Amino acid sequence: MAFRCAGASLDRDEPLVGTASTVRAFLLVENAGPWGVDALTDVRLPEDVKRSLRDRSQAANVRTLLVRRHRAGTSGLTVFAAWADPVAPWLETAALDAPEQLLDLDIGALGQGRSPGLTTTSEPVFGVCTHGRHDACCAELGRPVAAALSEAHPEHTWEISHVGGDRFAANVLVLPHGLYYGRVTAEGAEALGAKHRAGHLDLELLRGRSGFPFPVQVAEVAVRRETGETRLDAVRLVSLERDGDVTGMRLDVAGASYEVLVRRTTGRSTQLLTCRAEQENPVPAYHILGIRRTE
């Protein structure tokens, strides 16, 4: 039987929390595919356009991803620009007439948290990773979730290229808030979308918020579980201090102040972290040392 990284991660009971890619600026570009192993290298766009997207995205620290609708059909060229700031996230969109218009996008502005000049939208994007050429688990587990989520929330759902954390498939990225969910199932997809649209988080599936460093992702989920607080914007980072492998922070939870200590460790055991991995790597872990309400 072929190795599957998602099954191996589940078998070793690997925690989801604190594994969201740390990204604030996202650019999504509609492309029906097919998608190769590296989406932006293999995408069927004019060579100068995709070279420009790769180079400018890298220079501006923008995560550029490809998206497509789950059901096959005529491909348009919708783009989304998202700033996944934990306090003030925003999302803009536009429908372009030709790929060459991608050259005019101000990716540098997006990387600095400024508008690239698209149209503001208040509707979320649910991006389900189905990038099978990058990792088999993403297609095998992602496509059923994309089907279920697009059935329940058709205007908001897109298949998306590699977002990170293949072993947590099926992965769902929610923008503009930068929420990473893992091990989403087709049966639970509709409820996940409904919770978000109602302004709440699913704490059992939440990997983390991409605008936060890993220890803060862990702390946010910990204080939410401690208090039962699931409202989307109820937790705010007030201060952060690192001392070696220990991160101390103060979080505001719906007006109450909490101090949280988190320690990062790297175990001696190593794992194959993707289906295509050729060597094992250590997996970092994060441990809550304490949660204390201060006022």
- Cα 195 to chain centroid distance, Å, stands at 17
CATH, domain 5-197, list 3.40.30.10, 3.40.1360.10, 3.60.15.10, 3.40.50.300: 3.40.30.10
Q: Residue 271: name the closest of 1, 28, 14, 91 by CA.
A: 14
pLDDT at 295 (0 to 100)? 74
Cα(160)–Cα(223) distance, rounded to whole angstroms? 30
Beta-ladder partners of 251 = 237, 258
The torsion angle over the Cα atoms of residues 124, 23, 282 and 35, rounded to 10 degrees, is 70
When the pLDDT of each residue in the chain is averaged and rounded to a whole number, the result is 95
* Annotation: CATH topology of 213-293: Nuclear Transport Factor 2; Chain: A, (3.10.450)
Residues 45-71: pLDDT tens digits?
A: 999 999 999 999 999 999 999 999 998
Domain ranges of the chain: 5-197, 213-293
End-to-end alpha carbon distance in the chain: 55
Share of the chain above pLDDT 70, in %: 99
Structure-block tokens of residue 185: 């199932």
Cα(220)–Cα(120) distance, rounded to whole angstroms? 28
Residues 128-154: pLDDT tens digits?
A: 999 999 999 999 999 999 999 999 999
User: If residue 192 lies in a helix (H) or strand (E), which one and from where to where?
Assistant: helix 186-197
Q: How confident is the model at residue 73 (pLDDT cuts 50, 70, 90)?
A: low
Q: Which residue has the higher pLDDT, 78 or 40?
A: 78
Apex CA 221: angle with CA 243 and CA 267, to 5°? 55
10 Å Cβ neighbour count for 289?
11
* Rg value, the chain, Cα: 19
Residues 199-235: pLDDT tens digits?
A: 999 999 999 999 999 999 999 999 999 999 999 999 9
Q: Given a cut of 80, is residue 271 above it in pLDDT? A: yes
Rounded to an integer, the average pLDDT of 6-21 is 96
The answer to whether domain 5-197 and domain 213-293 are alike in fold is no
